[in-house]
Amino acid sequence: MLVFWKEKLVFLSVPKTGTTAYEMALAPHASMVILDPPELKHAPVYRYNRFFRPMFEKACKAELETFAVMREPISWLGSWYRYRRRPFMLGKPNSTHDISFDAFVDAYAENKTPGFANVGSQAKFLEPRPNGTCVTHLFRYENQPRLISFLESRLSLHLDLSRENVSPVMDLTLSKATAQKLRQKCAAEFELWNSIGN
């Protein structure tokens, strides 16, 4: 999470959406940089609403806007799958070394998700709260120019992004049955991603 106090803007860091590169580029310009623990670095809307928003509004007398990035759901799962196949994951309970991407996604779409496929939900991370707290500006991961344009304009800077925390390239083909199961079980993910303007 990054807070830009003068610009009244907060970056909510959805995991596996390229946030590390933005954090590296934007941290020097931020008033508050939260990189640890992961529960705060990747604070979802509900956690921001519960802990950070009241602090800003009550102690600092300011209401801040938020922005976040969402990735196309299958691509997002592919990023998690590849991340959990990196060498340092070998032998760990959440490793995906011994399963196919299709099996990983099939497991993710089960009612009881096994540990290796338990990676959360972008829709849940971004879910608006009953009091109206929500993400003010939501961008598609696949449309980086729109996000960069917004940030450069809002923060009055030029962004020079490097590639950070990149997982290895591999085949991420899904069977028709698994793709259909995912779209049915996780319809909210696809609906939200499709609702984001280009």
At 165 the pLDDT is 62
Q: Is residue 123 predicted with pLDDT exceeding 70? A: yes
pLDDT tens digits, 66-85: 999 999 999 999 999 999 99
Both structure tokens of 18: 């390229």
- Confidence bin at 161 (pLDDT 50/70/90): confident
Q: What is the pLDDT of residues 134-151, one digit of tens each?
A: 999 999 999 999 999 999
* pLDDT tens readout for residues 162-181: 766 666 678 899 999 999 99
| Count of structural domains within the chain | 1
Average pLDDT over residues 100-105: 96
Q: 176-185 and 101-108 helices cross at what angle (nearest 10)?
A: 30
| pLDDT, mean of residues 107-133 | 95
CB 134 within 8 A of CB 45: yes
Asked whether the whole model's pTM tops 0.85, one would answer yes
Q: Which two tokens stand for residue 24?
A: 């590296």
Cβ(143)–Cβ(71) below 8 Å: no
pLDDT of 38 over the 90 cut: no
Print the domain residue range for 126: 2-195
If 0-12 CB within 10 Å is exposed, 13-18 middle and 19+ buried, where does residue 61 land? exposed
- Residue 27 pLDDT > 90, yes or no? yes
pLDDT averaged over every residue in the chain: 92
Cα–Cα distance between 29 and 157 in angstroms, integer?
9
124 has pLDDT over 90: yes
